[in-house]
Amino acid sequence: MTDIGHLEDTDIDIAIDEGEAGERRATELASRLRMVAAEDPLLAQDLVEGLIVALDRAMGGTIRDHLDGPALGVAEKVLPAPDPAPQPRQNN
């Protein structure tokens, strides 16, 4: 009999669907950001700010609609002010 060692549940990474795969990637990213923050909080803050800017660009400027709490506060700090809603023109 061959000894293949001890496997942990986390050693087997088979996503059930794309949604679950995305959740796992997001969890891994958050874990890595926490590790960076423990070593270098300013670098972690810069990474989070850059991520928010990139996500806002990729989402057509709508990232604020998906954030709340401290994350929204960071977005408000690093993103340009949103354009005010256009006012309807009045026909005279």
Residue range 22-74, pLDDT digits in tens: 888 989 999 999 999 999 999 999 999 999 999 999 999 999 999 999 989 99
Q: What pLDDT was estimated at residue 1?
A: 47
In a domain, 26, yes or no: no
Number of domains present in the structure of the chain: 1
In a domain, 62, yes or no: yes
Residue 37, C-beta contacts closer than 8 angstroms, at least 6 positions apart: 44
| Numbers of helices and strands, H then E, in the chain | 3, 0
Domain limits for position 55? 41-80
Q: Across 6-63, where does the E strand assignment appear?
A: none
In whole angstroms, what is the distance from residue 58 CA to residue 75 CA? 14
Neighbour count for residue 12 (Cβ, 10 Å): 7
In a domain, 71, yes or no: yes
Cα 25 off chain centre by: 10
Confidence of residue 20 (pLDDT cuts 50, 70, 90): confident
In a domain, 67, yes or no: yes
